[in-house]
Amino acid sequence: MSATKTPKVIYTRLPGWRASALFGVLLLGLVGLFGRAIYLQTFHTDFLKEKGNKRYSRETEVSAHRGKITDRYGTPLAVSTPVKSVWVNPPHVKASAAQISQLARILNMSVGELRRHLFDKKHDYLSLQRHLPPDLADEVERLAISGILLQHEYRRYYPTAEMAAQLIGFTGQDDIGQEGLELSLQAQLVGKSGSRRIIKDRRGQIVEDAGNLSLPKPGKDVALSIDNKVQYVAYSELQNAVNLHHAKAGAVVVLDAQTGEVLALANYPAYNPNNRDHVDAQAMRNRAVTDVFEPGSTMKPFTIAAALDAGKVRPDTLINTQHGVMRIGRKTIHDTHGQSSLTVAQVIQKSSNVGAAKIALMMDRRTLWQTFAKSGFGAQTGSAFPGEATGKLRDANTWRPIEQATMSFGHGISVSLLQLARAYTVFANHGELKPISLLKRDADVAGQAVFTSQTAQILRDMLEMVVKPGGTAPLAQVSGYRVAGKTGTAHKLEGGQYVDRYVASFVGFAPASSPRIIVAVMIDEPSNGAYYGGVVAAPVFSKVTEAVLHLLNIPNDAPLNNVIEPPSDVIKEEV
């Protein structure tokens, strides 16, 4: 049996220089790391600060306070109130099931939806809920959930709610104007956001406010021409009238007759801008500014004034009204109450379509067009309201005789209620058209001459006859004041055809002896039996005018018992 052989162990001696080389490499690496550390901590500290800041600090935006919107006397119409918004930093969220359940209840979210946001791996920072009420924000803060942050912001609040909703408009969640004056005045109202740096701990909670990098700059306050008390009166009376007559909608405009400032601009139906969750889009329309309609007989005073200025007629000129029937080509013009003849003054008082048409045809069509254009029709009023309508005034070269005739009583032309109210400043200001303003003015502004002062005074006297017994609007009378104005009752135009739906209107001013206010009323599609301007719109004018004259402390220019009860059968008009 052979003995087992022991394997040979072979020893290899490495060269000495290789060990030295390896030691040298390690030493150089150590020296390099040491040098790099000295460099970063001594000469290039910004690098380490940047890396640290990314982990523990964050620069956040500091919201700027949006400017207030007030009425002409400083009553707030739109203000920004401080609120808190809830944000989450998903990588740092640590929350128990009980905390998540409580947070879901506070934020009115399902637990499943909340969990998806809290543990969203795709985002470092996202919003859970904006503009939380203070009491709920305090509840969130007391939960002390890691990774949940509360950010200070501002929420817009509208103290007058529905009363001026379409005029003021509203802002979005980021306090940026979306509609109305909030949109058009955005540049003045918006401030400039600031910024601050915060320090967070490893759980994502804020442990230190490192101070402001830049301070926020608040927006400017804006004073409107609106008088809040006048706005309340206009809105309340309009609401009552629309509901009483089962109308589709309505609008009221109140102007300072001397300055052109808008003292009230009301629309109904309306909405609450503080709660827009279930708002009908129709209720958001500012019908007084953005909607147009055929003005009907409220245009007749401009036709008559143009003829007076042109020397075609005098107030006592007798017009053959042909018992209320007039044919032009294949078309027939009617009066609701036919008369064989009327004076020019009576054409206004009785609202004769035939009389107005005959007077219009006495003039060159270009003369009539220029009168309408100089009175502001077919152009914006200068209010700068978003979406303001220009209306429609066709060029005179396209007019046929029938169109020249019908435009004299407000058919074939479209206007906004604000345009119509502004146009009546010519009769209240010695023939001058005043520019409109939704902002408070510090001084009177010059108007543009449209008619002579004499013609304006004659029309003022004629329009005063309209509200007396024998006219179309005795229901527009006001106790203790002389008033003047004109009714309108226009068929609505749909698909190129006139239908049996109406727009009832009345535009007037007071006191007639020295006009201080102009009130324009429009009721769209009254459907409770009555639809004439003198029956539907004139009473709204009377109530608004009486209240506003008292609010403004305007002296009486007539005895307190001046109102004469109208006959049961009020003179009607229809065009």
Residues 457-475: tens digit of each pLDDT? 999 999 999 999 999 999 9
10 Å CB burial of residue 533 (0-12, 13-18, 19+) is buried
Are residues 258 and 227 in contact, defined by beta-carbon separation less than 8 angstroms? no
Band (252; pLDDT cuts 50, 70, 90)? very high
Higher pLDDT, 365 or 21: 365
pLDDT at 128: 81
Q: Has residue 210 got a pLDDT over 60?
A: no
Q: Has residue 207 got a pLDDT over 50?
A: no
Are residues 153 and 33 in contact, defined by beta-carbon separation less than 8 angstroms? no
pLDDT digits (tens, 9 = 90+) for 64-98: 789 999 999 999 999 998 888 888 878 878 888 88
Identify the CA nearest to 104 among candidates 92, 115, 93, 89: 115
Q: Has residue 2 got a pLDDT over 70?
A: no
Q: Has residue 16 got a pLDDT over 70?
A: no
Contacts of 202 (CB under 8 A, 6+ apart): 92
Q: Has residue 195 got a pLDDT over 80?
A: no
| Cα dihedral across residues 277, 78, 190, 152: positive or negative | negative
Identify the CA nearest to 560 among candidates 479, 483, 482: 479
Give the residue numbers marked as catalytic: 297
User: What is the C-alpha to C-alpha distance for residues 547 and 549, in angstroms, rounded to an integer?
Assistant: 6
pLDDT at 413: 96
Identify the CA nearest to 300 among candidates 471, 418, 90: 471
Contacts of 136 (CB under 8 A, 6+ apart): 106, 107
pLDDT at 47: 60
CA distances from 148 to 59, 89, 128, 205 (A): 16, 6, 9, 7
Two structure tokens written together for 514: 């020295």
Q: What is the DSSP string of 16-53?
A: HHHHHHHHHHHHHHHHHHHHHHHHHHHT-HHHHHHHHH
Same fold, 60-109+127-222 and 228-274+282-551: no
Beta-carbon neighbour count of residue 361 at 10 Å?
16
User: What is the C-alpha to C-alpha distance for residues 321 and 272, in angstroms, rounded to an integer?
Assistant: 50
CA distances from 185 to 193, 263, 283, 298 (A): 18, 18, 22, 32
Q: Has residue 208 got a pLDDT over 50?
A: no
User: What is the C-alpha to C-alpha distance for residues 478 and 510, in angstroms, rounded to an integer?
Assistant: 9
Rounded mean pLDDT, 110-130: 80
Q: Has residue 214 got a pLDDT over 60?
A: yes
Rounded mean pLDDT, 249-271: 97
Phi, psi of 194 (to 5 degrees): -105, -170
pLDDT-wise least confident of 42-56, 258-272, 454-468: 42-56
Return the CATH fold of 60-109+127-222: Penicillin-binding protein 2a (Domain 2) (3.90.1310)
Higher pLDDT, 504 or 148: 504
User: What is the C-alpha to C-alpha distance for residues 104 and 113, in angstroms, rounded to an integer?
Assistant: 9
Identify the CA nearest to 548 among candidates 163, 260, 254, 167: 254
pLDDT at 83: 83
Q: Has residue 493 got a pLDDT over 90?
A: no
pLDDT digits (tens, 9 = 90+) for 175-191: 889 999 999 999 999 98
User: What is the C-alpha to C-alpha distance for residues 398 and 80, in angstroms, rounded to an integer?
Assistant: 52
Higher pLDDT, 136 or 462: 462
pLDDT at 20: 73
pLDDT at 490: 92
Rounded mean pLDDT, 275-282: 86
Are residues 132 and 85 in contact, defined by beta-carbon separation less than 8 angstroms? yes
pLDDT at 505: 97
pTM, rounded to two decimals: 0.83
Q: Has residue 557 got a pLDDT over 50?
A: yes
% of the chain residues with pLDDT over 90: 62
Domains of the chain, residue spans:
60-109+127-222, 228-274+282-551
Identify the CA nearest to 532 among candidates 563, 565, 570, 568: 570
DSSP state of 563: -
Return the CATH fold of 228-274+282-551: Beta-lactamase (3.40.710)
Rounded mean pLDDT, 496-506: 92
Two structure tokens written together for 536: 């539907």
Q: Has residue 261 got a pLDDT over 80?
A: yes
Question: By three-state DSSP, how is residue 152 classified?
Answer: strand
CA distances from 294 to 142, 237, 519 (A): 61, 23, 18
pLDDT-wise least confident of 40-54, 160-174, 186-200, 444-458: 40-54
CA distances from 83 to 63, 152, 153, 173, 266 (A): 11, 6, 5, 11, 30
pLDDT at 5: 61
Task: Tell me the pLDDT of the chain averaged across its residues.
Answer: 88
pLDDT-wise least confident of 105-109, 126-130, 357-361: 126-130
Two structure tokens written together for 392: 């429609």
Band (498; pLDDT cuts 50, 70, 90)? confident
Rounded mean pLDDT, 343-358: 96
User: What is the C-alpha to C-alpha distance for residues 52 and 92, in angstroms, rounded to an integer?
Assistant: 16
Rounded mean pLDDT, 9-17: 63
Band (38; pLDDT cuts 50, 70, 90)? confident
10 Å CB burial of residue 146 (0-12, 13-18, 19+) is middle
pLDDT at 71: 97
% of the chain residues with pLDDT over 70: 88
